[in-house]
Chain A
């Protein structure tokens, strides 16, 4: 029983970290319909900025997160204006080629600017220890990641489903010319959503840095996992992404505990089964 509980907690924490990092990608892929392979690159930029802010500028954890997320979103604005705007609605292959190109550029720049070694984001005293749950200890940071995941999920759901901006975004996505004719400034809506998605990527990169350490190849190393989480959840669906991440976290963690020598066999087996049963993901928004 203890073991089961223990695995459940690990699964929840891992799934939430996965969710925080992947949800931004779900927004770009599902709502804006851009296959954004540079998502990992943006998450990495966020991680680097936070690491720089804490280690070199001596800022605290909270202000560092804020600065890094905002700065990454600001970096994303000209990139969206100059590059991404050209590929909205373009064939997937074009999108893939351009975004993977951006990824390689970012890897090269990060390697040049920060060097090839690992960068850490020092945690504040309150988050760095572990909490004794009675039957086991868990890193305080994991609890923090779980809470962050819940807040992000709730906030984003509210933004998209319950605000005027969310309505405009959904309208612009479903039928851009019609939305524009009705007075929605679609380009602005796209720019803001893109910045939000990138900000989420950066946030995920920072919060997840304890599990997925920041180094130049971060941008490519974990991209497959993020893409899997999004496609299982159904691109664009927040509840879908949440369920998918928790499910994948559970399968991965259990598999790793019971039979680590099988590697990621169970993880990908589950992916195959789910994609076969739900080709659009668990809660795909688009047909």
Chain B
């Protein structure tokens, strides 16, 4: 028995060393807990990419190792990233749903000689923390700025902003304010409400009392958006003609079945809608729906992950499978390709993705399902947040 075991271990060890050309990619994201849906979307995007493009780059096999950080937890994120680099020997780090998680892992990239591909975390400053960070998602500034122009074009001069009181909410408030004032409008009042707000009636009353012609809102997608949109309708703001403008977080595909009628006609700007009409997106949606199981759960983190994998594949190609973070990152600077969301490129200076931002309207489809219908395109938008931070 002992001998058998020893042989088994020896063969196992041999087979491991024979597969030395396996390139490991460590993915950190929320795969359990309240944000598991987002982690599931990461996985669906990655699986879809590998299903379409194969699990091999040249002669090298690509292996994904997942690590779970259920909620924003920088210490845990850093510990897991370190473990992935040191123990698992990953050549690439990817994923990162929350900004603090991504920020916490940036200091170890240089020493570990590992590039990081951020597939979601949307605060502008992340890319400045290390020269090895590349981002394939979006920033709140990027998605919130164009809606200011939309509001102005709709003939609105006075707007009140209402945002959830946390990093991305404050980003959205600043982005909108900057964009709207540049367009010649005025933000009459800025309200920040706690993340845990359930009852939005008093907020709606404030909006009414402010005398603004429209409201700009930002809340993270999930349970609160439902309450907010319903309160907007039920407190008579819609009938009073007060318009609502928001980035796409408020009308996520995964929330739309619940929002339904109350969100109909709402206009939002975002970088990706599952309904985007292009052959690339059709192929992506088909592959990702298969990977996620329930197509209704598919939303934006999947496309960030899909494009993230594209960038990682290009990096592996450029380095021939050798671990060289600098060469890998240099290889994708200025890289442009057609993503499911449209034409995109990695900005050579900021290493953030330049992409189209779409204005969408919540519309009832032929089968009675609500979807985000793209009605206008803002082409090749960079990240205005980085410029504003300087």
Contacts and interface: CB of A to CB of B under 8 A. Distances in A.
Given A118-B226, A119-B258, A261 B191 contact: yes
Contact of A213 (B203, B227, B297): B227
B239 interface: yes
B199 A10 contact: yes
Interface in B169-212: 191-194, 196-199, 201-203, 205-206, 208-209
Contacts of B61: none
Interface string B325-352: 0000000000000000000000000000
A212 B198 contact: yes
B199 A211 contact: yes
Interface in B221-239: 222-223, 226-227, 230, 233-236, 239
Classify chain B: how many residues form its interface, as a range.
35 or more
B201 A10 contact: yes
A2 to B, nearest CB: 9
Interface in A215-244: 215-218, 221-222, 225
B234 A253 contact: no
Given A120-B260, A260-B193, A215 B223 contact: yes
A138 B197 CA distance: 19
A117 B297 contact: yes
Interface of B is mostly: helix
B226 A120 contact: yes
A257 B202 contact: yes
Contact of B205 (A130, A136, A139, A264): A136
Given A13-B201, A213-B227, A260-B191, A137 B255 contact: no
A115 B294 contact: yes
A117 B258 contact: yes
A132 B236 contact: yes
A14 B208 CA distance: 19
A264 B196 contact: yes
B125 interface: no
Contacts of A116: 36-37, 40, 297
Interface in B98-157: none
A252 B196 CA distance: 12
5 contacts: A10-B205, A116-B40, A118-B226, A132-B236, A211-B199
